[in-house]
């Protein structure tokens, strides 16, 4: 149609469509205050302020759509205009576009925010105009208060024409700043998003930076999902006392609601500073020992305790700061996890 427009001398313009009617991945349910956030409104005042704040970060949320436009743009407003020294603004508050091809989802282009945190970016252009399926990942460490998709005025935009048959039984992944996507260079490289593409299965990101402390309210939220698996990967935010007091009730909340669903528990990864810092080595070793002890009390036929070892790679190069994964660490971590998730029902 763009070719037709050129042929008959019409100059195509950009038409903006609100993303609010497009399919949204990554939420346990729709009972949130606004569309683009993770925690249900009922938890406001029930969880710590910082946890509530992070619930409005859009980690793991993604818009699905189809279009035959030769150009795809995005326009969004950031909630906080947050910044960190060890993560790109593009990962914190940018967007990231993938396209479905014969060999799966492929990276198309990412969009950076402006200085005010808002974005208005062309993500790809000059495409042969044919129908394609797209996924747009939302910011990992900020929220969006509005989101629009821009396409060529001679083209159409619609909800996806293809939907994964296993989308409705998501993996529900609980964790820390690492799970939330710290420090992916762009939203698509958080490991929950990588796994979602590789498995073609929705993955709900319940990673909360510094707040993955086995809070029972989060277990209760997770239990509401018709999950294909639950993953508990929050050790870097815990200490031995938290694990001793809260791990068993957290686990049982999931297990009582889902007697047969796999629950995967992950030990604290080994971080490169442990090769040098004796105190950190001792504290992480003690934490993992306590986790094993508590896990033993609840282990069942559908549970699994995994040790990621280095997690981010045996060359210790997969982190930006000895803790938070880069794209390199995230890809390795997802490759390590993938075999445990490939045969889910």
Binding residues for its own copies, rule: CB under 8 A, are: 85-90, 94, 99, 101, 106-110, 112-113, 124-128, 183, 185-186, 189, 272-273, 275-280, 316-322, 326-329, 331
CB of 90 to its own copies, least distance (A): 5
* Minimum CB distance to its own copies smaller for 55 or for 60: 60
Burial 175-194 (b: 16+ CB within 10 A, else e): bbbbbbbbbbbbbbbbbbbb
**Alpha helices, H only, the chain:** 2-7, 49-55, 89-93, 177-180, 191-199, 216-222, 240-257, 278-298, 327-341
Looking at residue 135, the DSSP 8-state letter turns out to be E
* Minimum CB distance to its own copies smaller for 55 or for 318: 318
* Minimum CB distance to its own copies smaller for 7 or for 301: 7
Q: Which string of DSSP letters, residue by residue, matches 13-67? A: -EEEEEGGGSEEES-S-S-BSSSS-SSBGGGTTTS-HHHHHHHTS-TT-EEEEEE
Q: Pick from 62, 31, 48, 35: which is nearest to 221 by CA?
A: 31
d(CA 66, CA 151): 11
CB of 188 to its own copies, least distance (A): 8
CB-based contact 65:123 (threshold 8 Å): no
* Minimum CB distance to its own copies smaller for 108 or for 154: 108
* Minimum CB distance to its own copies smaller for 40 or for 113: 113
> What is the sign of the dihedral through the CA atoms of 325, 318, 173 and 197?
positive
CB of 141 to its own copies, least distance (A): 13
* Minimum CB distance to its own copies smaller for 305 or for 322: 322
CB of 232 to its own copies, least distance (A): 26
CB of 312 to its own copies, least distance (A): 10
* Minimum CB distance to its own copies smaller for 55 or for 181: 181
CB of 113 to its own copies, least distance (A): 7
d(CA 97, CA 136): 5
CB of 255 to its own copies, least distance (A): 35
Q: Which string of DSSP letters, residue by residue, matches 203-242? A: EEEEE-TTT-S--HHHHHHHTTS--SEEEEE-GGG--HHH
Per the omega criterion (within 30 degrees of 0), is the bond before 183 cis? yes
Which residues on neighbouring strands pair with residue 146, listed in sequence order? 77
* Minimum CB distance to its own copies smaller for 92 or for 218: 92
CB of 105 to its own copies, least distance (A): 10
């Amino acid at each position: 149609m763009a070719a037709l427009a050129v042929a008959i001398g019409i100059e195509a313009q950009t038409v903006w469509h609100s993303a609010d009617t497009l399919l949204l991945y990554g939420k346990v349910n729709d009972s949130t205050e606004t569309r683009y956030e993770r925690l249900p409104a009922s938890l406001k005042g029930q969880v710590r302020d910082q946890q509530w704040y992070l619930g409005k970060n859009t980690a793991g949320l993604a818009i699905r759509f189809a279009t035959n436009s030769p150009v795809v743009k995005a326009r969004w407003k950031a909630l906080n205009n947050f910044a960190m020294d060890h993560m790109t603004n593009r990962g914190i508050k940018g967007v990231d576009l993938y396209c479905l091809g014969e060999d799966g989802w492929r990276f198309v282009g990412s969009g950076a925010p402006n200085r005010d945190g808002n974005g208005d970016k062309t993500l790809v252009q000059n495409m042969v105009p044919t129908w394609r399926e797209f996924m747009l990942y939302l910011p990992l460490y900020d929220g969006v208060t509005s989101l629009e998709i821009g396409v060529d005025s001679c083209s159409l935009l619609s909800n996806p024409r293809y939907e994964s048959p296993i989308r409705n039984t998501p993996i529900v992944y609980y964790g820390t700043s690492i799970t939330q996507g710290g420090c992916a260079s762009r939203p698509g490289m958080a490991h929950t998003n990588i796994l979602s593409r590789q498995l073609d299965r929705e993955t709900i990101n319940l990673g909360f930076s510094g707040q993955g402390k086995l809070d029972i309210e989060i277990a209760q939220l997770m239990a509401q999902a018709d999950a294909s698996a639950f993953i508990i990967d929050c050790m870097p935010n815990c200490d031995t006392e938290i694990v001793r007091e809260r791990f068993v009730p957290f686990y049982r909340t999931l297990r009582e609601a889902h007697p047969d669903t796999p629950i995967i528990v992950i030990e604290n990864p080994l971080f490169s500073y442990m090769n040098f810092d004796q105190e950190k080595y001792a504290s992480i070793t003690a934490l993992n020992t306590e986790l094993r002890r508590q896990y033993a009390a609840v282990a069942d036929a559908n549970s699994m305790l995994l040790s990621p070892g280095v997690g981010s790679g045996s060359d210790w190069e997969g982190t930006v700061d000895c803790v938070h994964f880069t794209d390199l660490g995230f890809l390795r971590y997802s490759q390590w996890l993938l075999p445990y998730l490939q045969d889910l029902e």
